[in-house]
Structure 1
Amino acid sequence: MIEILNSADAARARVTGALVGTILATLKNKVVPGTNLLEIDAWSKEMIEEAGATSCYVDYAPAFGNGPFGHYICTGVNDAVLHGLPRNQKVAAGDLLSLDLAIIKDGIAADAAISFVVGGQGDAASLALIDATERALAAGIEAAQPGAKIGDISNAIGQVLHGSGYKVNLEYGGHGIGSTMHQDPHVSNDGRPGRGYTLQPGLMLALEPWVMEDTNVLKSDPDGWTLRSSTGCRTAHTEHTVLITENGPEILTLAN
């Protein structure tokens, strides 16, 4: 299903998006060396519920996961890049932590992810991974103009990731979003320009470049959820929800 939001839907999406961005920014500020991933999950639950929202993950049970997910946020440390199931694990200074949060409020969902180095002192390779995903996301957003094609976004993202020296996995990527978290169209992190669905005002997309340092092959944890780099290399993941408007893309998941 491809959902086109009306003006009332878009207004609610802005509220949900700002909430996602604010929660992620708050979590980033709270995480210090020694923070447990289960603490991050508990903080997320508290902020989501205080805002009168619902996590999209607690009851999430797609065919590819060992569902339901049962937690409020995805937490990935170092080589864990997608669907990181919170566990009894403390982060250390220098760890590369990715947080992926999707919530729904007043019937509209929003989804975003950030990657950062715990303690703020990152090695050059980790910082380069994060920078590449952030630049790729910016390029994808810039390409998300009304009348453009999904392939234009994919190509813009892929050009940055490949140009930074990374391989690109095409199994998981961005997606449409609206009254539910995952909708059509799929937005691959690499592709050919001029292909696919034509963007129109009211379409909302979650764009999410992610990359692994020396591979494009994933492996799954025994928990049935957490996806890691097959070589154990570090990973990064950055995501925003954007609304296509007549004047161009609007980023909804910025912190207030």
Structure 2
Amino acid sequence: MVEILSRRRLSLASETGQLVGTILRTLRERVTVGTNLLEIDAWTAEMIAEAGAESCYVDYAPSFGRGPFGHVICTSVNDAVLHGLPRDQVLAPGDLLTLDLAVSLRGVVADSAISFVVGDDPAPADLAMIETTERALEAGIAAAGPHARIGDLSAAIGAVLRAAGYPINMEFGGHGLGSTMHQDPHVANAGAPGRGVRLRPGMLLALEPWVMADTAALRTDADGWTLRSATGCRAAHSEHTIAITRTGAEILTLPTA
């Protein structure tokens, strides 16, 4: 299903997006060396409850996971890149952490992810990988508009990732959203321009470039959720929810000023 939101629901989506962006910014400011992943989950649950919102992950039980997820945020560390199940793990200096959060507020969902290095001495390779996913995200957003096709966004994202030398996994990517977290269309992180669903004003899309340093292959943890690089290399992930407008695309998951 491809959901087209009314102007009123787009306004609600903007509020949800700001909430998601603000929570992620707060977590980034709060997380330090010695923070436990379960603390991050608890902090997030508290902020979601205070806003009168709901996490999209607690009852999330897709066919590829061992559901329900049972936590409110994904916390992926180092070689983990997607669906990191919060666990009793303390963050160490130099850990590469990805936080992925999807929230529903008044019936409209927004989804975003950030990656950053914990501590004061980040490895240049980690920073380069994070920066590449951010640039790929910017390229995908720039390609979005009411006359574009999904393939245009995928091609723009993939061009940045490939130019930086990263393999691209095609199993997981971006997606539509609205009243639920995962909807059509799928937005792969590489593709051919001019193909796929044509974008329309009122569509919400979550674009999420992610890469692993030296492989495109994933393995699943014993927890049934956490996806890691098959080689043990590190990974990064950036994501925004955007609304397609009559003139282009608006980023919804920016924090409040």
For residues 207-250 of structure 1, what are the alpha-carbon distances to aligned partners after superposition, in whole Å with 9 as ceiling and x for unaligned?
A: 00000000000000000000000000000000000000012100
Aligned to 1:190: 190
Aligned mates of 1:107, 1:247 — CA distance in 2: 26
Matching residue's letter, 1:161: L
Aligned to 1:221: 221
1:53 corresponds to 2:53:
yes
Aligned mates of 2:117, 2:24 — CA distance in 1: 14
1:6 positional shift: 0.5
Matching residue's letter, 1:21: G
1:120 positional shift: 3.9
Aligned to 2:255: 255
For residues 183-221 of structure 1, what are the alpha-carbon distances to aligned partners after superposition, in whole Å with 9 as ceiling and x for unaligned?
A: 000000000000000011000000000000000000000
TM-score (norm 1): 0.99
Aligned mates of 2:20, 2:237 — CA distance in 1: 16
Aligned mates of 1:72, 1:80 — CA distance in 2: 17
Matching residue's letter, 1:44: T
Aligned to 2:80: 80
Aligned to 1:240: 240
1:156 corresponds to 2:121:
no
Aligned mates of 1:98, 1:129 — CA distance in 2: 12
Unaligned 5+ segments in structure 2 are none
1:121 positional shift: 2.3
Name the stretch that deviates more: 112-121 or 50-59. 112-121
1:119 corresponds to 2:119:
yes
- Kindly report which structure 2 residues correspond to 1:157-172, keeping only aligned pairs within 5 A, or say none: 157-172=157-172
Matching residue's letter, 2:75: T
Q: What fraction of aligned residue pairs are identical, expressed as a percent?
A: 66
TM-score (norm 2): 0.99
For residues 26-48 of structure 1, what are the alpha-carbon distances to aligned partners after superposition, in whole Å with 9 as ceiling and x for unaligned?
A: 00000000000000000000000
Aligned to 2:13: 13
Aligned to 1:40: 40
Name the stretch that deviates more: 117-126 or 198-207. 117-126
1:115 positional shift: 0.1
Q: Give runs of ≥4 in structure 1 deviating > 3 Å.
A: none
Matching residue's letter, 2:53: A
1:119 positional shift: 1.4
Aligned mates of 1:121, 1:135 — CA distance in 2: 22
Aligned to 1:208: 208
Aligned to 2:231: 231
Matching residue's letter, 2:77: V
For residues 59-94 of structure 1, what are the alpha-carbon distances to aligned partners after superposition, in whole Å with 9 as ceiling and x for unaligned?
A: 000010000000000000000000000000011111
1:52 positional shift: 0.1
Aligned mates of 1:129, 1:159 — CA distance in 2: 15
Aligned residues: 256
Aligned to 1:136: 136
